[in-house]
């Protein structure tokens, strides 16, 4: 069964997780069930016939029935200080004894502060206002503050039981001073495992968890894909950085560790995870590494360029318990030394609009690209261009097609009608130059037949193609359905746009 909390907050960290050092310090009362159950990583269970000398055994925190005014509470030290975005107050299996209402407060205090000290002296700030709790259910609540907290206090009104508490948010990271290196991939540093090829045996986030894995299930392991397959995981660093070395641990993986591993990097802040797995902008940052059973491998980083993401590739499959990315946070971006990106950034809005329109004539695409400036890397530029293009509709695509001449158009027509992009189109269609009259006539007739069938001109990424190859592709596509052909034409436009963006480096 899917975990609603995990589904709802995949990009957030449970700041109170036991695995990160979260701890229930003190409670007003835990007569029936201890506060220590609140932060357990496992789902709450119910054992119908299990009783203790205090009553029914429950897997959660449960206070006695109050006979005096007031309410019960539990103070929790977060494993990682951070900004709380949402809270999951889980009343699983608490049906006739659940807490009917709850609220959450936060404070900032010394991590070593005792529970009694916090109870008596802390200044508590509302995080979740009082909300009704459904019995035996996940109760998801959004935070009302953007402040950073080190501790939280769960209040229940007036008493009752809560099975689990999850405090989802973004870790607050204090960057090291001086030359000290840090693990930029760690969950506690804001790192996230965001996409992987397979997480059959364990969550992909295990790979960047703190500390050494204590058992095989505490690492990350893929199912058997067998040669010649391979698996991957993409990690977004907590902060862009320049890396010194990658450390891979295979503790507890003895007959199921990967044969070898590769690590790639790219720079694209806030990149959509779905686009990252196969993005062409990945580049190797280490040499291939032969792995061993239950061991530690250190890979020296050979590329000093800053990165925002890492892709660990393992061949063919298997388990790795931890990955560390040791390096230094940086504000330097690839754009600082890239003439193409510097030229785009230096343009006025009018100049940039003109340049981008020469790359792709869809107005809404141009608007989106203008709004996305400045671009921090070529991967960022090209990835955004691709992403925005595929968010457009059929009408936008057809608008872009209208900015192209027909394949094989004569040079006079090309220069007269498409003055802004004539030089680009002329270069892209260089394969037509010198073609014999028979091929040119066939192209002209094919263009007319294509336009009559599909309602727009024939679009192909003509760079490097001969006239005969263009004609062959035109003829093959005439038999497609209009829906299928529109998609193929849009793919061709995306390729053309990419090439034209890269050509903007030259004035």
- Asked if 198 and 225 touch (Cβ cutoff 8 Å), the reply is yes
Eight-class DSSP state of 112? T
pLDDT (tens digit per residue) in 316-331: 999 999 999 999 999 9
Residue that wins the pLDDT comparison between 475 and 10: 475
pTM: 0.85
Evaluate if residue 435 carries a pLDDT over 70: no
pLDDT of residue 390: 97
| Average pLDDT of the segment spanning 78-104 | 97
pLDDT of residue 437: 80
To the question of domain 182-329 being in CATH 3.30.1330.180, the answer is no
Residue that wins the pLDDT comparison between 403 and 225: 403
Instruction: Name the pLDDT band for 432 (thresholds 50, 70, 90).
Output: low
| Average pLDDT of the segment spanning 100-123 | 98
pLDDT of residue 316: 94
Phi then psi for residue 411, to 5 deg, are: -60, -35
DSSP conformation letters of 220-281: EEPPP--TT--EEEEEEEEEEEEEEEEEEE-TT-SSS--SEEEEEEE--TT--HHHHTT-TT
Phi then psi for residue 324, to 5 deg, are: -115, 135
DSSP conformation letters of 12-38: SEETT-GGGT-EEEEES--SSB-GGGT
Q: How far is CA 305 from CA 185, 209, 267, in A?
A: 16, 25, 9
CATH superfamily of 340-503: Oxo-4-hydroxy-4-carboxy-5-ureidoimidazoline decarboxylase (1.10.3330.10)
Evaluate if residue 434 carries a pLDDT over 60: no
Burial class (CB in 10 A: 0-12, 13-18, 19+), 470: buried
Mean pLDDT computed over every residue of the chain: 91
Measured from the Cβ of residue 311, the count of other Cβ atoms closer than 10 Å reads: 24
Q: How far is CA 172 from CA 150, 193, 296, in A?
A: 10, 17, 29
pLDDT (tens digit per residue) in 9-25: 667 899 999 999 999 99
Residues 269, 274, 277, 280, Cα dihedral to 10°: -70
| Measured distance CA(356)–CA(352) in Å, rounded | 6
Evaluate if residue 36 carries a pLDDT over 70: yes
Evaluate if residue 425 carries a pLDDT over 80: no
C-alpha count within 13 angstroms, C-beta hemisphere, residue 308:
18
Instruction: Name the pLDDT band for 423 (thresholds 50, 70, 90).
Output: low
Q: Where are the domains of the chain?
A: 4-171, 182-329, 340-503
Measured from the Cβ of residue 420, the count of other Cβ atoms closer than 10 Å reads: 13
pLDDT of residue 255: 95
pLDDT of residue 180: 85
pLDDT of residue 428: 55
Evaluate if residue 421 carries a pLDDT over 60: no
- Asked if 22 and 77 touch (Cβ cutoff 8 Å), the reply is yes
- Asked if 233 and 312 touch (Cβ cutoff 8 Å), the reply is yes
User: How many angstroms from the chain centroid is the CA of residue 503?
Assistant: 29
pLDDT of residue 362: 98
Q: How far is CA 110 from CA 115, 124, 151, in A?
A: 11, 14, 9
Evaluate if residue 166 carries a pLDDT over 90: yes
Instruction: Name the pLDDT band for 8 (thresholds 50, 70, 90).
Output: low
Instruction: Name the pLDDT band for 411 (thresholds 50, 70, 90).
Output: very low
| Average pLDDT of the segment spanning 237-247 | 97
Evaluate if residue 417 carries a pLDDT over 50: no
Helices (DSSP H) in 391-481: which residue ranges? 394-401, 411-417, 422-428, 437-454, 467-477
* Highest-scoring range by mean pLDDT, 50-59, 221-230, 350-359: 350-359
**Cis peptide bond N-terminal to 228, omega within 30:** yes
| Measured distance CA(465)–CA(461) in Å, rounded | 8
Residues for the chain: how many in total? 507
Evaluate if residue 5 carries a pLDDT over 70: no
Instruction: Name the pLDDT band for 32 (thresholds 50, 70, 90).
Output: very high
Evaluate if residue 427 carries a pLDDT over 60: no
User: Do 4-171 and 182-329 fold alike per CATH?
Assistant: yes
Q: Quick one: fold of 4-171? A: Jelly Rolls (2.60.120)
pLDDT (tens digit per residue) in 253-262: 999 999 999 9
Instruction: Residue 262: name the closest of 326, 209, 206, 310 by CA.
Output: 310
- Asked if 156 and 162 touch (Cβ cutoff 8 Å), the reply is yes
| Measured distance CA(313)–CA(215) in Å, rounded | 22
| Measured distance CA(237)–CA(193) in Å, rounded | 9
pLDDT of residue 3: 52
Least confident piece of the model among 86-100, 204-218, 430-444: 430-444
Q: Are strands 307-315 and 13-14 parallel, antiparallel or unpaired?
A: unpaired
Evaluate if residue 334 carries a pLDDT over 70: yes
pLDDT of residue 419: 46
Evaluate if residue 121 carries a pLDDT over 80: yes
| Average pLDDT of the segment spanning 171-181 | 86
| Measured distance CA(384)–CA(387) in Å, rounded | 5
Q: What percent of the chain has pLDDT over 90?
A: 80
Evaluate if residue 226 carries a pLDDT over 90: no
| Average pLDDT of the segment spanning 225-229 | 76
Phi then psi for residue 252, to 5 deg, are: 75, -5
């Amino acid at each position: 069964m899917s975990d609603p909390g995990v589904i709802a907050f995949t990009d957030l960290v449970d700041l109170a997780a036991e695995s990160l050092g979260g701890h229930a310090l003190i409670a007003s009362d835990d007569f029936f069930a201890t506060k220590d159950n609140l932060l357990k990583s496992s789902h709450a269970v119910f054992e119908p016939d299990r009783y203790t000398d205090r009553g029914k055994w429950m897997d959660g925190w449960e206070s006695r029935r109050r006979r005096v005014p007031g309410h019960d509470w539990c103070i929790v030290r977060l494993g990682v200080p951070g900004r709380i975005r949402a809270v999951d107050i889980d009343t699983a299996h608490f049906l006739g004894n659940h807490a009917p209402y709850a609220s959450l407060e936060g404070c900032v205090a010394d991590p070593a502060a005792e529970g009694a000290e916090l109870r008596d002296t802390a200044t508590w700030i509302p995080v979740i206002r009082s909300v009704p709790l459904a019995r035996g259910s996940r109760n998801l609540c959004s935070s009302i503050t953007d402040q950073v907290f080190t501790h939280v206090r769960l209040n229940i009104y007036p008493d009752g039981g809560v099975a689990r508490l999850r405090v989802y948010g973004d870790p607050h990271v204090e960057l090291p001073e001086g030359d000290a290196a840090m693990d930029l991939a760690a969950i506690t540093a804001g790192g996230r495992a965001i996409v992987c090829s397979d997480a059959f045996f364990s969550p992909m986030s295990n790979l960047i968890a703190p500390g050494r894995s204590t058992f095989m299930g505490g690492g990350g392991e893929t199912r058997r894909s067998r040669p010649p397959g391979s698996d991957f995981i993409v990690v977004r660093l907590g902060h862009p950085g320049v890396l010194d070395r990658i450390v891979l641990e295979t503790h507890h993986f003895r007959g199921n560790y990967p044969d070898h591993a590769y690590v790639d990097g790219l720079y694209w802040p806030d990149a959509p995870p779905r686009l990252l797995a196969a993005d062409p902008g990945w580049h190797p940052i280490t040499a291939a590494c032969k792995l061993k059973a239950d061991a530690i491998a250190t890979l020296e980083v050979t590329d000093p360029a800053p990165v925002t993401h890492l892709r660990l590739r393992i061949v063919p499959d298997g388990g790795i318990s931890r990955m560390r990315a040791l390096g230094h946070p940086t504000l330097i971006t690839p754009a600082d030394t890239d003439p193409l990106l510097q030229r785009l950034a230096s343009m006025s809005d009018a100049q940039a609009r003109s340049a981008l329109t020469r790359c792709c004539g869809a107005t809404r695409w141009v608007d989106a690209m203008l709004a996305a400036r400045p671009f921090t890397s070529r991967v960022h530029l090209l990835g955004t261009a691709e992403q925005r293009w595929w968010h457009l509709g059929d009408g936008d695509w057809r608008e872009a097609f209208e900015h192209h001449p027909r394949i094989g158009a004569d040079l006079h027509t090309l220069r007269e009608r498409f003055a802004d992009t004539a030089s680009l189109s002329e270069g892209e269609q260089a394969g037509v130059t010198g073609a014999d009259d028979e091929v040119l006539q066939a192209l002209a007739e094919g263009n007319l037949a294509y336009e009559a069938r599909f309602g727009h001109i024939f679009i192909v990424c003509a760079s490097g193609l001969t006239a005969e190859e263009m004609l062959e592709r035109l003829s093959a596509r005439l038999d497609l359905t209009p829906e299928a052909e529109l998609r193929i034409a849009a793919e061709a436009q995306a390729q053309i746009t990419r090439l034209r963006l890269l050509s903007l480096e030259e004035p």
